[in-house]
Structure 1
Amino acid sequence: MKLKNANKGTVIFTIVIILTLASGTFSLVKGRGAGSSSNDAKPKAEFKATEKKQGSFIKALEKNTRTKSPKGSYIARIEITGTITDAGDTYNQKWILETIKELKEDKNNKGIILSILSPGGGLYEADETYLSLMDYKKCTSRPIYTYCKNLCASGGYYIACSSDYIMANRNSLVGSIGVICGQFVDISELMEKHGIKMKTIHSGRNKIMGAVNEPLTKEQEMIMQSICDEGYDSFVEVVSNGRGLTKEQVVELADGRIYTAKQSMENRLIDSIGSMEDLEDAMKRKAFDFEDYEVIDYSYTKPENLYNIFMGAAKQFSRSSFGNALLPKAVEDRLENRIEFPAYYCDLFN
């Protein structure tokens, strides 16, 4: 019965997506108009209007960098949103590193504001972004200020520690200083109970540590803990250097928990509480002696292709009450790939 319902849900889901894509494609073609020239400005305007109507299903195929070109000296406000990973829907490692490099080489750029809304992410990516920002400061002597939005945790806070000044919204959650380094599941007893046998041919007793058919040995647990501790020590050092705290003070705070904005300020994890406008005023006052600069927004949007359009439509459908009731769990799991909790993790196996 369950299998039958799952198959039915998959069929309905497929039909809905096909209809959605067909509708979007038809509107896109109609918006371009018959006999339109690629050099004509009118079809482009029509395409933009169609794009607006289609919402997240049809988007222009263009690289998203900044909202507008600066007319003179400016401050770059970089949005760091979502899970910090190599290539996600809202965060892209290559894009952010290239953006920081371009700003470093641009003499009209006078500083960076980091606007962070992130639960954290990969240890490697967070550290790479942090080092790139520190290089920016070293080479240019320009300031970096950070604004913490709803959540600035783990890898997000790690990146924030590159800044000269951190301000959080009064409802922000900040911190989660700690590292996750592998989650292992041992189903060997369950397999044995049901007569399931699995054999992996390998050399080196720790080559397949973490395999589901073998218990984690004490030695393997110690190996993984040593890797985790090394990442933790790096995190503690970054916070210590960035916030002017001793390592002992950081360790006392760094048990993995998140802090409210008020608690963060009391523990010197941030400098003040306020709005984005307050941060801009503070930067203008503290870093530029009240000199006013234009603020240009930089944010990453994943370039659209047929696969991304399909997955975007599928995600929206799955989040609706209709889609949520019909879709098999396997399909939902495939659509959703996100960290639900503040996590700074060492991804060794993917």
Structure 2
Amino acid sequence: SATVKGVILSIDSPGGTTVGGESIYEEVRKLAADKPVVAEVGTLAASAGYMIASAADHIVARKTSIVGSIGVLIQYPDVSGLMDKLGIKLEEVKSSPLKAAPSPFKPTNDDERAMVRKLILDSYDWFVGIVAERRKMTREQAQALADGSIFTGRQALANHLVDAVGGEPEAINWLATKGVDSKLKVVEWKDTEGHGLLFSRSMTKAVANALGLPDAGGDIIHELGADRLFLDGLVSVWHP
């Protein structure tokens, strides 16, 4: 919209799917090509949350915000022991040894683990490249910070992961340096549909119906956080 002169991107996120972070990152960069964008970090901007923050032209964080956790993760359970106790045996026919690996129904072998590691390292390499480019670091400097560590806002400032310590007033002050009138009203935009990276409210209702639950079941799933309940695949996320 031509009436929007600048954007404050409020971030309070531990991350999520790597592809979700990538998609939002790309959209923020498109937006920043047209309008100045500043990221304001609340409690947390970790992993894919930080990936998104790095897409902004300027990053502001509180002194005690949690910032960082630069990296990529994939987790999968091994329920083979439980299946043995229950007397359940899995039979499968597949086209090649690595198809459908890793599987929760059997321990991961060395070849499967190596395949997953290659997947992780390729996405990690891309993530580190983004940090180096956006934060104007050498690749070696970015890599040193990309060991999964988390930092306070003050530490992040010292490590050049953010540009300033503060909140919305500091974000507005930065926009003013880009020609945006500091007296303009800040209008908060909210997604009334509540789309997550994976599921909208209508989709969670469909899932509930497929499980034999009423529409209200979909509302409950949505409010609990469908992205967390149904998360599958490569993630860039931090959790204590």
TM bin (shorter chain): 0.7 to 0.9
Alignment partner, residue 198 of structure 2: none
SS class of match (1:152): strand
1:272 aligns to 2:164 (yes or no): yes
The SS at the match of 1:225 is: helix
Shift of 1:274: 1.1
User: Cα RMSD over matched residues?
Assistant: 2.8
Which amino acid counterpart does residue 301 of structure 1 have in structure 2? T
Structure 2 residue 3 is the aligned partner of structure 1 residue 108: yes
2:141 aligned with 1:246: no
Show the 5 A alignment for 1:31-70: none
In structure 2, the partner of 1:171 is 64
* Alignment deviations for residues 135-181 of structure 1 (CA, whole Å, 9 cap, x no partner): 2233x2x2111100011111111011111111111221111101012
Q: Which residue of 1 aligns with 2:238?
A: none
Number of aligned pairs? 215
Look up the equivalent residue of 2:170 and give its one-letter code. D
In the other structure, the counterpart of 2:216 is 307
Q: Does 1:137 align with 2:29?
A: no
What is the distance in 2 between the residues matched to 1:178 and 1:274?
Answer: 25
Greater share of helix: 1
Q: Does the aligned pair in 1 maintain the 2:59–2:163 contact within 8 Å?
A: yes
Shift of the 239–198 alpha-carbon distance from structure 1 to 2, 3 Å rule, reads: same
Structure 1 residues not aligned, in runs of 5+ = 1-105, 316-334
In structure 2, the CA distance between the partners of 1:225 and 1:310, relative to structure 1 (3 Å rule), is closer
Distance 1:288 1:308 in 2: 48
Q: For residues 291 and 213 of structure 1, what CA distance do their matches in structure 2 show? A: 58
- 1:336–1:298: structure 2 CA closer, same or farther, 3 Å change rule? closer
Mapped contact 1:119–1:339 kept (Cα < 8 A): no
Q: Does residue 102 of structure 2 align to residue 228 of structure 1?
A: no
1:273 is displaced (CA, Å) by 0.7
TM-score by length of 1: 0.55
| Moved >6 Å (runs of 4+) | none
Instruction: Write the letter of the residue equivalent to 2:54.
Output: C
Alignment partner, residue 234 of structure 2: 346
- Structure 2, unmatched stretches of 5+, are 195-200, 203-214, 236-240
Alpha-carbon distance change, 189 to 294 in structure 1, aligned in 2, over 3 angstroms: closer
Alpha-carbon separation, structure 1, partners of 2:180 and 2:85: 72
Check 1:196–1:152 CA distance in 2 against 1; reply closer, same or farther (3 A cut): same
Give the 3 Å change call, closer, same or farther, for CA 119–339 of structure 1 in structure 2: farther
CA distance in 1, matches of 2:173, 2:164: 13
Matches within 5 A, 1:256-271: 256-271=148-163
CA deviations on 1:253-272 (whole Å, 9 max, x unpaired) are: 11112110111001000011
Q: 1:155 corresponds to which residue?
A: 48
Please say if residues 32 and 57 of structure 2, whose CA atoms lie closer than 8 Å, have aligned partners that are also in contact. no
Query: In structure 2, what is the Cα distance between the partners aligned to 1:283 and 1:159?
Result: 18
Decide whether aligned partners of structure 1 residues 198 and 291 sit closer, same or farther in structure 2, where only a CA change above 3 A counts.
closer
Question: Share of identical aligned residues, percent?
Answer: 30
Cα pair 2:128 2:142 within 8 Å, conserved? yes
Corresponding position: 1:295 with 2:186: yes
Aligned CA distance change for structure 1 residues 133 and 289 (closer, same or farther; 3 Å) = closer
Q: Does 1:121 align with 2:16?
A: yes
Provide the C-alpha distance between the structure 1 equivalents of 2:85 and 2:180, rounded to a whole number of angstroms.
72
Q: Kindly state the Cα deviation for residue 195 of structure 1 after the two structures are TM-superposed.
A: 3.9
Distance apart, 1:290 and its partner CA: 5.6
Deviation at 1:210, TM superposition (A): 2.1
